[in-house]
Amino acid sequence: MMRHFLRLQDFSKQELDDLLALAADLKARQKAGIEHHLLKGKTLAMIFEKASTRTRISFEVGMFQLGGHGLFISSGNSQMGRGEPIRDTARVLARYCDGVMIRTFGQEIVDEFALFSNVPVINGLTDRYHPCQIMADLQTVIEQKGRYSGLKFAWVGDGNNMANTWIEAAAILGFDLALACPHGYEPDPGVLAWARSRNTGAITLTTDPREAVRGADVINTDVWASMGQEAEQKQREQAFQGYCVNDDLLSDAAGDCIVLHCLPAHRGEEISNDVIEGRHSVVWDEAENRLHIQKAIMATLMGGAK
């Protein structure tokens, strides 16, 4: 059966582990200069309703390295921007391309696109989930720590798409996750309820960043105001006081902890310059791994994994 990559909860632990293993293999091949044209002659349509640096470049370069082609489509310069129904665009692109990646606002957009597409659809980011980023983060954790099991993960900041997807990952893969979010900025309650119903890793929610990072091996954060929330910037700056990942906060974490940030970063807000440039930071490896995990996802979904 044809698969889409819309949210982590659609996949089993074994399937996610297989993607991580393939990503490590493809990264090793690329570093060794070994050709890996697993998608030779295939095309990925890349639809963007949100601005992008890492998502566009990593998918486009990834398709090139796999021997295929990535086709950039701005919704504002397509018929989608003039009101063409999502289902119509989905059915037409499936006649031209071998896969579709969408970076947009509502999760319902990628869900509907996938429903009417007979080629794989990949969620490049929505307001609810960011599965490609979390998979890249997990690949980075494995590279740095040798595993994800038995580690404590901490999330500090907004209960946004990143927090929601970390909750999914913890529930599927079985590691402990502590989230610190201010009142009114908690993760999606439906995602949290789904995760806790699985009775796997311990998932806790607090308003105290120090409680969340205490003894943590992996610490994650993101901007306080995501795309589309710019008008709330001042309000959020007040709500998130004390939620900056800085050296003082890290003093409560494990001494060999690593710090992740999906970027772009607002230095001095959610993360200090000293931390993002310091010895605990692995954000540049994390950013690079978007390329490798997405290649694994594309190769698996689009029929080239081997």
Binding residues: 52-55, 79, 103, 130-133, 161, 222, 226-227, 262-263, 290
Angle at alpha carbon of residue 293, lines to 290 and 294, rounded to 5°: 75
CA 267 to CA 273: how far, in whole Å?
5
Cα–Cα nearest to 295, from 12, 53, 26, 10:
26
Question: Known catalytic residue: 130?
Answer: yes
Q: Which of 4, 36, 103, 280 is catalytic?
A: 103
Question: Known catalytic residue: 217?
Answer: no
Binding site for L-ornithine, by residue number, is 161, 222, 226-227
Kindly list the distances between the CA atom of residue 32 and the CA atoms of 20, 25, 27, 269, in Å, as whole numbers in the listed order. 18, 11, 9, 39
Question: Known catalytic residue: 222?
Answer: yes
- Left, alpha or beta for 263 (phi > 0: left; psi -120 to 50: alpha)? left
Neighbours of 271 (CB within 10 A): 28
Question: Known catalytic residue: 290?
Answer: yes
Question: Known catalytic residue: 261?
Answer: no
Q: Which of 127, 290, 292, 294 is catalytic?
A: 290
Query: How many Cα atoms occupy the beta-carbon half-sphere of 305 within 13 Å?
Result: 20
Cα–Cα nearest to 134, from 8, 47, 19:
8
Query: How many Cα atoms occupy the beta-carbon half-sphere of 67 within 13 Å?
Result: 14
Q: Which of 127, 262, 280, 294 is catalytic?
A: 262
Question: Known catalytic residue: 274?
Answer: no
Binding site for carbamoyl phosphate, by residue number, is 52-55, 79, 103, 130-133, 262-263, 290
Query: What positions carry a catalytic annotation?
Result: 103, 130, 133, 222, 262, 290
